[in-house]
Amino acid sequence: MDHGPRALVITAAGINCDLELMHAFAAAGARPEAVHLEALVREPARIDRFRLIGLPGGFSFGDDVAAGRIMGALMRRSVYPALVAAIERGVPIICPCNGFQIAVQAGLLPGPDAGAAWPDAAAVPTVALAQNAGGSFRDAWTRVEIPANTRCVWTQGLELDDATGLLPSAHGEGRLVAGDALLDRLEVDGQVAVRYHDADHFNGSMRRIAGICDPSGLVFGLMPHPERFTRWTQHPRWTRLSPHQRRAEPLGLRMFRNAVERTLVAT
C-alpha cells in the first residue's frame, strides 16, 4: 500500500504478534512498518515519522522478571520522551496484551491526570496487570462491553451485541489491579475503554476492566487482542452469524478503523 497514514509497530525480543498487528493496521487503511526497539533507542526521532503506533503482544524478553517489565524499563529510559511527543501531536497508540503490560511499565498508561501535562520522566506505575484469578493461562473468546462515557478514540461509537461483541483473549497475567481512588478517577474521566462481560470475566480484573486509555483517549491498552478479529472468518461461530450481523465490520477492525479515520480527519 502506497497511501494512508504510516503506522509504527515496535518489535523486540520475544514479541510474536507483530505480524497480526501489522495486518490489522493495513486492513484499516494504514501503512504499517515494523521497527525494532534497538533501532528506536539509537534514533528516537524515527518515531516522529509515524501517525499511528502499536505495541504488539507476545512475551517481550521472555517476561523473565514480570510481564512487560524489561521492555517497559528500556522504553522509560530511551524513547519515552519521543512517545510523549507523539501523543501530544495526536498520534493514536494501541497496546494489546503484552503491549498493555509494557505501556503500564513504561509510564504511558493510565497517563497524567486529565488536564495535566505529561511529566518529563515516566511516572511510577500506578496500575498492575497481575496473575489471572485461578493462576492459569487462559485462551478464549470473551464478550466485551464499551462504557458509554469512554473517551478512547479506538472504542468510541462502537455498538456491540452478544454475538459479535467478542474479542479473543490469551494471557496469564491480565488481572488489572489498582487503588479504588484511581479506578474511580478513570471511570469518571472516561478512561475505561472496554470491560469484560460479566459472564466472561475470567481473569478477575477489578471492576471487570479489560482496557483503559490515557486522558487524551489516544493511548489504548487492553488485554484482549482486537488485531485477531479483523475478518468474520476468525469469529468462533462465523458460519452461524446472519448476513445482517456480518454486514458491519468485525469489532477488532472497527477499532483500528476508528484510529485511522481520526488521523485522516486531523490531517
Q: Which domains does the chain have, with CATH numbers?
A: 6-266 (3.40.50.880)
Residue in 228, 211, 230, 229 with CA at minimum distance from that of residue 220: 211
- Buried b vs exposed e over 146-156: b needs ≥16 C-beta within 10 Å? bbeebbbbbbb
Do 132 and 173 form a contact (C-beta atoms < 8 A)?
yes
How far is residue 49 from each of residues 6, 23, 67, 164, measured CA to CA in Å?
Answer: 8, 20, 29, 35
**Do 66 and 92 meet the contact criterion of CB atoms below 8 Å apart?**
no
Residue 267's pLDDT is 63
**Measuring CA to CA, how many Å separate 187 from each of 184, 212, 214?**
5, 9, 12
Q: Which triple of cell numbers denotes residue 18?
A: 507483530
Beta bridge partners of 167: 142
Q: Say if residues 145 and 227 touch (Cβ distance below 8 Å).
A: no
CA–CA distance, 80 with 124 (Å, rounded to integer) = 13
Span 137-154, pLDDT tens digits: 999 999 999 999 999 999
* Grid cell digits, residue 1: 500500500
Question: By CB neighbour count within 10 A (0-12 exposed, 13-18 middle, 19+ buried), where does 175 fall?
Answer: buried
SS (H, E, C) 126-176: CCEEECCCCCCCEEEEEEEECCCCCCCCCCCCCCCCCCCCEEEEEECCCEE
DSSP assigned state of 204: -
pTM, two decimal places: 0.96
Active-site residues, by number, are: 97, 225, 227
pLDDT in tens, the chain (267 residues): 468 999 999 999 999 999 999 999 999 999 999 999 999 999 999 999 999 999 999 999 888 778 889 999 999 999 999 999 999 999 999 999 999 999 999 999 999 999 999 999 999 999 999 999 989 999 999 999 999 999 999 999 998 998 999 999 999 999 999 999 999 999 999 999 999 999 999 999 999 999 999 999 999 999 999 999 999 999 999 999 999 999 999 999 999 999 999 998 876
- Give the count of alpha carbons within 13 A of 42, CB side only: 4
CA 196 distance to own-chain centroid: 15
Q: How is residue 20 annotated by DSSP? A: H
In the prediction, which pLDDT does 2 show? Answer: 63
Please report the pLDDT score of residue 226 as a whole number. Answer: 98
